Amino acid sequence: MITNQPIASIAWQPRAVFALLFGYLALFGVLIGGQGVLWAEIIGALQLSKSMFGLVQLASPILSVVLLVAGAQLAHWLGKKSLAIVGLALLAVSQLALAEAGGLALLLGALLLSGAGNALLETAANSATLDWEHATGRSVMNLMHAGFSAGAVLGAFAAGLLLGQGWRYPAVLTLLALLCMLLLLISLPVRFPPAESGDGAGLGPADTLRLLLGMPVMLALAVVCVLGVIGESVSNLWSVIYLHGLGADALLGGATFALFNGAMFAGRLANSWVVARWGARASLLASGLGLVLANVLLLPGILALAIAGFALMGLSVAGIVPTVLTAGARLAPGRSAAVAGGIMALAYTGFVICPPITGLVADLVSLRAALLIVGASGIAILVLACRLPPSR
């Protein structure tokens, strides 16, 4: 078991830890990017309707929410490194299970494994990054999440290329599972940054929720995070499917998904400067406005405009999650695991809400109409960000 010891009593290597934590976020991106391209193939192979696909996508984030809320207590009991290792193992198994899924029940099981792995690794990676920031005095959360975007570009391009070369989606998923196991092995000798004294102690799920709900500014930040991940969810699950309906082939769909994540990478690098110069409020206002404009580009159903719309969406959502996490940690010093797990648990609500609503509206009306949820989330972010103190 990995214990949380005072900073002064433990030797660790900041550069090695930074590289490993960056690798975790990059792996997340590779998995999301690869699967984003593969979902159209999986839907076709399993003969799922859009509404059913959206419904089964609930399984992963619902389980993730439960485990993220408990993340502070789990991190205190087991240690963040242990959480990361277990999360990587579950993600590897989930990729193999998805590769073998021949029906709805096996697909649901694979998504549940993925949800558990995502939650544990997400809690470990984000809270350990907050510990790294506290120990070094440097702000790197936006840069870490840029690693996610870079990984998603790589995953989307690689998956699209492999499909274009004749690979079947189970083979691509097996390759993703091997990447998870490789990072697990790399993690074993690395010592994580120590948590602040008492981090996670006495913070069960109910205490974590009280920490968030009892502070109006923290709650506003968490809701903004929920709204921000709606844009990510739409792009991750529906961008390739939407473009396919507009006439794009698998390679163009994969390239556009990579463009979305490339825009997120650039946006997160730029957002570090925006937050440092003008603060979190200005960053979030720009994100909300960008989402509204992205929705305007998506709605005409013109392929070129849709590609531009997904690129602008990537720029717009890029800074929301890392900005909210760092701002939340400043509101509750010494509670990195609770802040990371609690805020991300509420953020995953966006992944719970978005897929079934989008799928249902797509079946009843059209996927183009369902994408209005992106513009609605942008308007809500603008309203909430206006209420934040300028220094946040």
Both structure tokens of 321:
């999650």
> Comparing C-alpha atoms, which of 205, 190, 207, 182 is closest to residue 82?
190
pLDDT at 379: 95
pLDDT, tens only, 295-314 = 999 988 899 999 999 999 99
Q: What is the mean pLDDT of residues 199-218?
A: 67
CA 315 to chain centre: 15
Residue 77 CB-density burial (10 A; 0-12 exposed, 13-18 middle, 19+ buried): middle
Question: Would you say residue 352 has pLDDT above 80?
Answer: no
pLDDT at 73: 76
> Comparing C-alpha atoms, which of 350, 342, 374, 313 is closest to residue 60?
350
Both structure tokens of 283:
């960053």
Q: How far is 81 from 84, CA to CA, in rounded Å?
A: 5
More confident call, 118 vs 213: 118
CB 37 within 8 A of CB 239: no
Band (3; pLDDT cuts 50, 70, 90): very low
pLDDT at 182: 97
Question: Would you say residue 180 has pLDDT above 70?
Answer: yes
Q: What is the mean pLDDT of residues 59-75?
A: 79
> b/e map of 147-165 (b: 16 or more CB within 10 Å)?
bbbbbbbbbbbbbbbbbee
Q: How far is 9 from 316, CA to CA, in rounded Å?
A: 41
Q: What is the mean pLDDT of residues 240-261?
A: 82
The fraction of the chain above a pLDDT of 90, given in percent, is 28
pLDDT at 249: 81
Q: pTM value?
A: 0.74
CA atoms within 13 A on the CB side of 311: 10
Q: How far is 233 from 303, CA to CA, in rounded Å?
A: 20
pLDDT at 204: 64
Question: Would you say residue 64 has pLDDT above 60?
Answer: yes
pLDDT at 8: 41
CB 130 within 8 A of CB 80: no
More confident call, 336 vs 42: 42
CA atoms within 13 A on the CB side of 238: 35
pLDDT at 247: 86
